[in-house]
Amino acid sequence: MTSVLGDMETRGREPLSVADAVLAAKGAVEELPPMAVRGEVSGFRGPNARSGHCYFNVKDDASSMAVIAWKGVYQTFLREGYELRDGLEIVLHGGFQVYQGTGKLSFVARRLELAGEGALRQKVAALARKLEAEGLMDPARKRLIPPFCTRVCVVTSLSGSVIEDVRRTLARRNPLVELDCVGCSVQGTEAPATIIRALARAAASRPDAILLVRGGGSFEDLMCFNDEALARAVAACPVPVITGIGHEPDVSICDMVADRRCSTPTAAAESVAPDMADLQRLTEQRARRLAKAAQDAVVANGQGLDAQERLMRKSLGGEVARMRQRVESLASHRCIQDPRYMVDRRGEELLQTEQRLVDALPRLFERSGRDLDDKGLRLRRTLPRVVARRREDVGRDERLVAGVGARLLRPYEEGLGRAAASLDALSPLRVLGRGYALARDTRGHVVTDAAKLAVGDSVSVALAHGGFRASVTGLLDDEGQSGVAARGED
């Protein structure tokens, strides 16, 4: 900026170009430090459809300026739970900027905040999200309030009208409820600490429930009930806590973490003290219902018992009649009246059985004879056919055996022929046929040596055809020299 202003001073009255003038303004504006500006939103038309940036004006009673909020800045503002709209008072953190193309001066917002009450609500919303993330607002964590509280402790300012409203409400609805009071400050920066101490004293007395109540007021008046330390004390209190802070639209952090939230202090007192008239009506109604139910049950059970009695009488009567009839039937049996009757009857039955058996034997023999004749006749008729079939089978087997036997005996017959030829060639009968003779002694041994014989021994001589017996009259040597001749005996 200094160089641009220096050029302007050296040129004197020489006019600047538009670009130089805009550049000089841009440089001068950028030298301004970041600042926070508070004003009312005007002319807001929502984020740009393509870029997501926001363009609007911020004004007060005397001036108005153009504002640019980039897409990321506005999305951060949205995540905090707020939206820009005309008439909303905000605080913008950023600085001025001159657009070189048009020379337009705009305030570029780097961060957006709600002003006044809006800023407080923003802090409360942030704290609510934090405690919710920790589970302090989870319904499963909250404790059940007894339906009939006999002792209640009220934590509130003792100088206001709220405590009197609570007393009148409890006295009107249920005077049996015992009431204790612990005073504290319910407005201002010191109020959260006094309320925390009052809750500790109230919990130490062990009542059935604690009423944390305050009358209506502005949002700033009720800010002490949005304190984080107080909210954690309410959540950690060992006794169930019921809140009745402000009016119906007012919802504080303490309301969110308490075990029960009521719209007003009076409603909180009513929630722990059921109306005696309502209780009396409910008790009478239930007593009537119980009496009627008992009477109906008695009547129904009486009718059921009567029906069961009639059914039992009828069943027992029928069973007794059946048993009587059975006993009479058994008593009428002959075996009961005359015990020997069974023995006599069995004897008669045996005699009858014997007679039937004697009568049946001839018929049985006759029938058996006829059966045997029939079987013999069937056998005589069947036997020739069986014999013929067997003869055919035997003939067929004979032919098969003959054929097979011939084939089986053929090799043996050939061997036998060869053996017979060899035997015939070696047979002594064949030698005898050539004029030789075979001599045997009296023991049947073949005589092969004449020295084994003696004169007078008897020998048998076999010829080719027939033979004869002889007596040894002399012995010859191998040359036939002896002089002794043999004599035949025929």
pLDDT band, very low/low/confident/very high, at 339 (cuts 50, 70, 90): low
Does residue 256 register a pLDDT over 60?
yes
Q: Taking a C-beta distance cutoff of 8 angstroms, is the pair 269, 170 a contact?
A: yes
- Whether residue 66 is predicted with pLDDT greater than 80 in this model: the reply is yes
The pLDDT-based confidence of 407 (bands split at 50, 70, 90) is confident
* Cα-to-chain-centroid distance, residue 398: 83
Q: Is it the case that residue 6 has pLDDT exceeding 80?
A: no
The mean pLDDT value for 171-193 works out to 88
Quickly tell me which residue has 């079939």 as its tokens.
Answer: 389
**According to the model, what pLDDT value does residue 116 have?**
63
Give the pLDDT confidence of 372-390 residue by residue, as tens digits: 777 767 777 777 777 778 7
pLDDT digits (tens, 9 = 90+) for 431-484: 776 777 888 888 878 888 888 888 888 888 888 788 888 888 888 876 766 644
pLDDT (tens digit, 9 = 90+) per residue, 110-159? 998 877 656 667 777 788 888 888 888 888 888 888 888 889 999 998 88
pLDDT band (50, 70, 90) for residue 94? very high
The span from the CA of 254 to the CA of 247, in Å, is 14
pLDDT tops 60 at residue 101: yes
Torsion of CA 441, 444, 447, 453, to 10 degrees: -20
Quote the CA–CA distance of 123 and 47 in Å, as a whole number. Answer: 25
Say yes or no to pLDDT of 184 above 80. Answer: yes
**Percentage of the chain lying above the pLDDT 90 cut:** 16
Average pLDDT, the chain: 81
Global pTM value: 0.42
Domains of the chain (ranges; CATH) run 2-123 (2.40.50.140), 147-274 (3.40.50.2300), 438-488 (no CATH)
- Taking alpha carbons only, the member of 234, 262, 230, 282 closest to residue 165 is 262
186/368: higher pLDDT = 186
**162-173 helix and 265-272 helix, angle to the nearest 10 degrees:** 30
- pLDDT higher than threshold 70 for residue 95: yes
